[in-house]
Structure 1
Amino acid sequence: MFTINARVSPARSRVFWRRAAPEGGEIVDYTAPVLYTVKEACAVLRVSNWKLYQLIRSQQLASVRIGKRRLVPRDAVDALIARLRGEEPW
């Protein structure tokens, strides 16, 4: 069973997740943003801004607007990758 502890870094205002592996294994620290900016989503998917907005317009990739910012949920990125790999139907 995994133990998950979360803490917020005041310098970056991001949540850092710490997962302790079972049987005294290695501890892994990583940041886990819930929403990616357009730039971050492009980096994760390794596509251009134009291609990302094309995926959003064609409704292949879900996004949300908060104020003037367009943000892409991490789950939407994971779902797109799963669909492209053929693991999930459209």
Structure 2
Amino acid sequence: MRAKGNYRLILNASLYPQMKLASMDKKGITFACVNGEGRDGLSTFALKFKDPTIVEEFRVAVDKHKGSKPIETAPTSKTPENSPTATDA
């Protein structure tokens, strides 16, 4: 998941078909997933959004993709947009 505007990475986790999303207040959602390499078990994450309508958009997006297989992508070329910078190291 990436932030709007600057596309900063917020969460990089695998979705799975049995993944449950639970509402948290009106503007939040919680879920359990495996996040990171070499970690065993599930971690619970809680996301809070500014607008309650974004919670439903997030739920729909997760439900749409949690059963799909990852898309294999071709290697990207080194252009200024995707080249590593000194802050990426």
Instruction: Tell me which protein shows more strand as a share of its residues.
Output: 1
Instruction: Tell me which protein shows more helix as a share of its residues.
Output: 1
Decide: shared fold, TM above 0.5: no
TM-score of the pair, normalised by structure 2: 0.25
